[in-house]
Structure 1
């Protein structure tokens, strides 16, 4: 029986993380697992208390916020499983979830990574994800399959290849990571799992989704309030993704598209929303890509401002 390492990240959300740990304990029936929680530089260090409260869980404390990519990579470095199940801390497991994903990885050697169907927790009849389309390099856009649809069982029999797995819940083979590498730390947050998916696809493995494996996600259907932090990394990393992955001609087309279409549109929206301070943030994100190597680990923004 292959061992599964469940890895999640906590950042100033102790109660939410504890709810996930309880969910795993109450619903999981797969015998060979370990659970790893990376505390990503939270203001208050919850690890000493958690060590007593959850003796069967492995806790890792990072004194600095390493972001989604760095936090998961830190957890993977300490994991002993054959498969790594990376899950957001604001998720809720369902019975049979781990087993259903393991069954596919056990029997399909060409599948390197797999996600379950993600459902919104606030309304467990609404779908968040049952697959992604491939990113269009010309625009750096793609689409989440099934998003905001009412679940009527239309994807229960879905099992097969998808563009990418979802960062909220994805099980990946150790051998996939050995061949494709881990997530690029310099994305920090946003686009990192899609960039990873590109490398996994190009390494010869397929990304799959299983529609009858379900996890609930407490994320809201709306993205939430804009922040300077989010605007910076969404724009910075959109460009960085293209630099990492697109062929030269398609990248050139994207740069023209971004500067002539996206930038003016964003500026107009910032003005309409009374967020004119975001204009400088947008150009700061662009300038980072002009002045830094695509492999640079200099983030250009204070990590501890992440929400």
Structure 2
């Protein structure tokens, strides 16, 4: 049976990551698995905590915080599996999860990237992700499928979807080598959407299966309204369009986003007395007008 490389990134969340490793230990079964953990700029020494739970762990220390894409790319470079499964460290898998994912991939060679049904860890009957609709490149908007619905089995099936979810993505190594790694210039947010676009360009499909389930502790890493999140969500939404849309779509979206969406967001944040967050919206837009779409200057201090 083919080796599965499970890759995760820790950023100063040792307790969360320990729980993640414990879930892998409980539910991986007899499948051939290697677990690779990239420790992004840790403030302490966490390796022993992780290896106590998972002695076979491949532990990689990164002196710098390279973000979601950079950390996963580092793990990918150290992996040996024919299948690569990228899992957030704030997730926990369930019984039969890995087998269901592999069965789906084996049944359909056209699948490039595959994500499972994702449910909220704190409300285990609530769905977070059952796929995404296609992107409207004029507004950079699409919709999540099933979000916050009660799980009644309505999505316990498989189908093509607009995009995978960054919390859990499976691919074949041979497809990854053709599509390429994730782009580190995003640092946080939208890198998985950009990655899906890469797989689409090599003729592969983006797929969802509700036959595999995972629980997600959403927004553990950066907080629900942190300056870091506001900056990169603003910056990367426009950057994604700049990298993946047609010329006409880029122009239309840039006008819509710069002169309507972001000013409205700034006014709302100022009304809530959050001037620091409003400043990050402005900075996220400003970055795109002062940097190329391939710039490696992240534009955010303190990371």
Q: Smaller-chain TM-score range?
A: over 0.9
Report the Cα distance in structure 2 between the residues aligned to 1:96 and 1:287, rounded to whole angstroms.
46
- Does the CA-based 8 Å contact 1:122-1:220 persist in structure 2? no
- Structure 2: how far apart are the matches of 1:220 and 1:61? 23
SS at match of 1:235: helix
- Answering whether residue 88 of structure 2 is matched by residue 62 of structure 1, we say no
1:246 aligns to 2:245 (yes or no): yes
Equivalent residue number for residue 7 of structure 1: 7
* Residue aligning to 2:168: 169
> What SS does the corresponding residue of 2:114 show, helix, strand or coil?
strand
User: CA separation in 2, counterparts of 1:303 and 1:90?
Assistant: 23
Q: Tell me whether 1:236 sits opposite 2:235 in the alignment.
A: yes
Q: What is the CA-CA distance between 1:283 and the residue it aligns to? A: 2.3
- Work out whether 1:211 is the aligned partner of 2:210: yes
Contact kept? 2:258, 2:285, Cα under 8 Å: no
Q: Does 1:24 align with 2:24?
A: yes
Deviation, structure 1 residue 260:
2.1
Question: For residues 245 and 136 of structure 1, do their structure 2 counterparts lie closer, same or farther at Cα, with a shift above 3 Å needed?
Answer: same
In the TM superposition, what is the alpha-carbon distance from 1:53 to its structure 2 partner?
Answer: 4.7
Deviation at 1:48, TM superposition (A): 4.3
* Number of residue pairs the alignment of both structures matches: 302
3-state SS in 2 of match to 1:151: coil
Cα separation, 2, equivalents of 1:64 and 1:215 = 29
- For residue 172 of structure 1, give the secondary structure of its aligned residue in structure 2: strand
The answer to whether the 8 A contact 1:29-1:99 is kept is no
For the 8 Å contact 1:67–1:303, the answer to whether it is kept is no
Aligned to 1:138: 138
Supply the distance in 1 between the matched residues of 2:22 and 2:111 (Cα, whole angstroms). Answer: 30
Could you tell me which runs of 5 or more consecutive residues in structure 2 were left unpaired when the two chains were aligned: none
The Cα offsets for residues 106-157 of structure 1, whole Å up to 9 and x where unpaired, read as 232111111110011111100000101122111111111000000111111x
- The 1:49–1:117 alpha-carbon spacing in structure 2 relative to 1, beyond 3 Å, is closer
> Which aligned segments of 4 or more residues in structure 1 are displaced greater than 3 angstroms?
48-53
| CA distance in structure 1 between the aligned counterparts of 2:53 and 2:265, rounded to whole angstroms | 47
TM-score (norm 1): 0.94
Match of 1:40 in 2: 40
Deviation at 1:290, TM superposition (A): 1.4
1:93 CA displacement: 1.0
8 Å contact kept, 1:30–1:98: no
1:262 maps onto 2:261 in alignment: yes
- Would you say 1:200 and 2:199 are equivalent positions? yes
Q: Which residue of 2 aligns with 1:288?
A: 287
Q: Which moved more, 1:167-176 or 1:25-34?
A: 25-34
Query: What's the counterpart of residue 184 of structure 1?
Result: 183
| Stretch of structure 1 that moved more, 241-250 or 30-39 | 30-39
